[in-house]
A = this chain, B = another copy of it.
Amino acid sequence: MADCVFCRIIAGQAPATVYYRDDQVIAFQDIRPVAPVHILIVPIKHIESINAMSEEDKPLIGHLFWVARQLAVQHGIAESGYRSIINTGRDAGQAVFHLHLHIIGGQRVRYPMG
């Protein structure tokens, strides 16, 4: 999708600090990190949000977390801990309508979840 910033990053048409890539997902640094480690893990396939996932996307969603687990080790936050967030829609503050998993760590979380 030409107007999607994450699709542009995937296509190499927008800059990003890329940590990982395979045939299903890409992982890069959030441009506005809220913690010392703040990684976005994004499916290559343009899915707007969890509301738009289909049943066949289940292994893909699981793969986002499988990659998160490896990246947490590589960034030294597996043992200290990390928060994983997927925001869906307005009330959650979803900013880019291409599904993405936030991995946030490197410090104790400062805010309640809601």
Contacts and interface: CB of A to CB of B under 8 A. Distances in A.
Contacts of A83: 85-88, 91-93, 113-114
Interface in A56-114: 57-63, 65-66, 68-69, 72, 77-94, 102, 104-114
A74 B80 CA distance: 36
Candidate in A80, A84, A88, A102 with the most chain B CB atoms within 10 angstroms: A88
A46 to B, nearest CB: 17
Interface of A: 34-35, 38, 50-51, 53, 55, 57-63, 65-66, 68-69, 72, 77-94, 102, 104-114
Contacts of A92: 81-83, 104-105, 109
A114 B39 CA distance: 12
B38 A51 contact: no
